[in-house]
Chains A and B, each alone.
Chain A
């Protein structure tokens, strides 16, 4: 009998403890949401401050730019300040042309490539893409191969003039992007070419 009383008492006590704990826990958990908004508000307040700091920095940058822009920039520096798109629009490297069905560098293309090599030496950080193209008088598959051969022979010639191979990448477009849509010898001659795009500076 005593045992039962002790047991029931102990069970009652345990229950009582849990019941007393639960309401305690509840207020313990509820407070966090309250401080949370309090914490958030200072963040919101801080943000505009950060923005202001940024603005000041930008303004300072601009000031510095203006101060340094006064002294004359070298050609290289002017070049480096332009975006890749701007540079490519000016197309500083002249394209070269090829004979029908051939991919060897023609005599008239050699001085053009020598000038290109000089230019690449002047702007020694520039990386270029060599794009090979063909006229419409070849089949799709063979023309893609021929375009690659044209880009590659241009690549090899520039390497022989002292340009590092890791500054150049080749790609072929075959006959898919003609410069001239015509169907005559003038158009075909225009379309058989290696064209250069600057992809890094």
Chain B
């Protein structure tokens, strides 16, 4: 009798759990998207006994681990799990072992013996369930390119899993660390901060072209704020326009057009569009209000922008030809700096409430917004990473203005800069 009752209670609880559980799961999956793939990456195998090879192996392992952790696509298995199974033998892999510690993907890294001073690195990816070799790549490079070798390897793995490469992308930004606002670049993780422009004038608001070969930016020359295109690999600079104040450049993702804000006619800030080489400048907005901060949709068919045509700055979307304008932001009195996500379904923007700027994300499918940053500070200039899972923005939360990255769900806040003030970031493809 008792057991029956227990069983009855048990089934009831089970049913209740069944009813409740799926709802929770739906919420989770909406928020987090695809669950991360469990990946095992044991220590890399070294084919020479020099201490240098050991150090290279350790560094490569660490950088690639950091990349995978950052990706949100892979989830690295804890190191302690590896001690429960037989050590990895690259000639004969016991996939059942790796399956037993719940790895889906196995990354095998090897450092072959190098005859010269260069780094040699070999990475292979296996599907654990089937035991199939998926992909392998061998890199050779000078020692100072160790980070690049690691990032390239991690990016290749991302590509295999249908993701956009992220770790070799570059961030361009404005810093006054050397006394004057100049352009700088850095890696996604804040490494390799490099100065790009050398002059005594103010360089401002840079934006990468989709192919990463050009940077459009504002430079205060000739008593105006002109728009220029910098070719960082060719040591060349082209002028787009030097009349009036020209800023907030944004390249269309198909690489064909360059939108920007300009006051060239009647000193009123309006949105203009030019070819990718800055020719054939055409005006898109015509009114007495401020229109600024254009950001292209990933299809290159629409442009999000800021306008105060309704009295306060709000986010609008228009077709690439300037027609069909509709308002996208509601419930606030100050919105700016829209950034259309590369996935196309989200627009990040800044909202000002009581002198505090926070970044919000508008989901275009559901028209719901969620607050990304929560701090008593000014968080602004959001820009998406090419994979659409991370954003970079500037914040004065630590006192001075610095650059931070954050995941799309508000996790994993990181500070990337410390010297001087650093602002106006743009993430390359």
Contact = CB atoms under 8 A, between A and B. Distances in A.
Interface of A: 129, 136-142, 144-149, 151-152, 155, 169-173, 176-177, 197, 199
A171 B245 contact: yes
B337 A172 contact: no
B292 A141 contact: yes
Closest CB pairs A-B (n = 7): A145-B269, A141-B293, A139-B336, A152-B267, A145-B290, A172-B245, A142-B336
B223 A171 contact: yes
11 contacts: A138-B352, A139-B337, A140-B337, A140-B380, A142-B334, A142-B337, A169-B224, A171-B245, A176-B204, A177-B202, A199-B223
A146 B291 CA distance: 10
A147 B381 CA distance: 18
Given A136-B378, A169-B224, A176-B181, A141 B267 contact: no
B113 to A, nearest CB: 52
Interface string B266-279: 01110000000000
B149 interface: no
Contacts of A199: 223
Given A169-B223, A171-B223, A171-B244, A139 B357 contact: yes
Interface string B288-306: 0010110000000000001
Contacts of B225: 144, 171-173
B423 interface: yes
A68 B259 CA distance: 57
B313 interface: yes
A172 to B, nearest CB: 4
Contacts of B352: 137-139
Contacts of B337: 139-142
B357 A144 contact: no
Contacts of A172: 225, 245, 263
Interface string B253-272: 00000000101000111000
A116 B202 CA distance: 28
Interface of B: 181, 202, 204-205, 220, 223-225, 244-245, 247-248, 261, 263, 267-269, 290, 292-293, 306, 308, 313, 334, 336-337, 350, 352, 355, 357, 378, 380-381, 423-424
- Residue among B223, B261, B337, B380 with most chain A CB within 10 A: B223
Contacts of A152: 263, 267-268
Given A139-B380, A176-B202, A176-B204, A148 B263 contact: yes
A144 B245 contact: yes
Contacts of B247: 141, 144
A142 B268 contact: no
Contacts of A147: 245
A171 B292 contact: no
Contact of A148 (B245, B357, B424): B245
Given A139-B337, A171-B224, A176-B181, A144 B261 contact: yes
Given A129-B223, A171-B245, A140 B269 contact: no
A185 to B, nearest CB: 11
Contact of B292 (A136, A137, A142, A151): A142
A140 B205 contact: yes
A145 B334 CA distance: 14
A187 B267 CA distance: 27
Nearest to B245: A172
Contacts of B268: 148-149, 152
A141 B224 contact: no
A140 B290 contact: no
Contact of B269 (A138, A148, A197): A148
Contacts of B424: 140
B355 A137 contact: yes
Contact of B290 (A129, A149, A173, A177): A149
A199 B221 CA distance: 13
A67 to B, nearest CB: 37
Contact of B245 (A137, A155, A170): A170
A168 to B, nearest CB: 10
B265 to A, nearest CB: 12
Given A139-B352, A141-B292, A145-B292, A170 B263 contact: yes
Given A142-B290, A144-B245, 9 more contacts: A137-B352, A140-B381, A140-B424, A141-B337, A145-B292, A148-B267, A170-B263, A171-B224, A176-B181
A138 B333 CA distance: 12
Contact of A141 (B202, B306, B355, B357): B306
B390 to A, nearest CB: 21
A197 B224 CA distance: 12
A141 B261 contact: yes
A152 B268 CA distance: 8
A197 B381 CA distance: 30
A145 B306 CA distance: 10
Contacts of B269: 144-145, 148-149
A141 B248 contact: yes
A157 to B, nearest CB: 13
A146 B334 CA distance: 13
A201 to B, nearest CB: 14
A108 to B, nearest CB: 23
B350 A139 contact: yes
Nearest to B293: A141
Nearest to B423: A140
Contacts of B355: 137
A21 B176 CA distance: 74
